[in-house]
Amino acid sequence: METGFDPSVLNIIVNASLTVKLVMALLLVASLLSWTVIAIKWGVIKKARASANNFERRFWSGIELGELFKKITSGRRQPGGMESIFEAGFREFARLRKKGNLSGESILEGAQRAMRVSLSREIDKLEMHLSFLATVGSTSPYVGLFGTVWGIMNSFIALGGQEHVTIASVAPGIAEALIATAMGLFAAIPAVIAYNRYSNDVERLVSRYDIFAEEFSSVLHRQSHT
Q: List, as one string, the DSSP characters of 1-15.
A: --------HHHHHHT
Residue 3, domain member (yes or no): no
What pLDDT was estimated at residue 2? Answer: 42
Instruction: List the single range of 4-8, 45-49, 145-149 with lowest mean pLDDT.
Output: 4-8
Domain, as residue range, for 67: 9-224
Q: How confident is the model at residue 178 (pLDDT cuts 50, 70, 90)?
A: confident
Q: How many domains does the chain have?
A: 1
Count of Cβ atoms closer than 10 Å to residue 14 Cβ: 11
Say if 164 falls within a structural domain.
yes
Q: Is 13 domain-assigned? A: yes
Q: By the 8 A CB rule, do 163 and 196 touch?
A: no
- The mean predicted confidence, pLDDT, of the chain is 85
pLDDT tier at 127 (50, 70, 90 boundaries)?
very high
pLDDT on residue 63: 87
Domain membership flag for residue 159: yes
Confidence of residue 131 (pLDDT cuts 50, 70, 90): very high
pLDDT surpasses 60 at 220: yes
Cα 153 to Cα 74: distance, rounded to the nearest angstrom:
66
Structural contact between residues 169 and 156, judged by C-beta atoms closer than 8 angstroms: no
Question: What are the DSSP calls for 51-107, one per residue?
Answer: HHHHHHHHHTTT--HHHHHHHHHTSSSPP-THHHHHHHHHHHHHHHHHH--S-HHHH
Q: Tell whether 1 is covered by a domain.
A: no
**Does residue 4 belong to any structural domain of this protein?**
no
d(CA 159, CA 169): 7
The whole-number average pLDDT for the span 163-183 is 71
Would 2 be classed as within a structural domain? Answer: no
In a domain, 117, yes or no: yes
What is the distance between the alpha carbons of residues 100 and 3, in angstroms, rounded to a whole number?
91
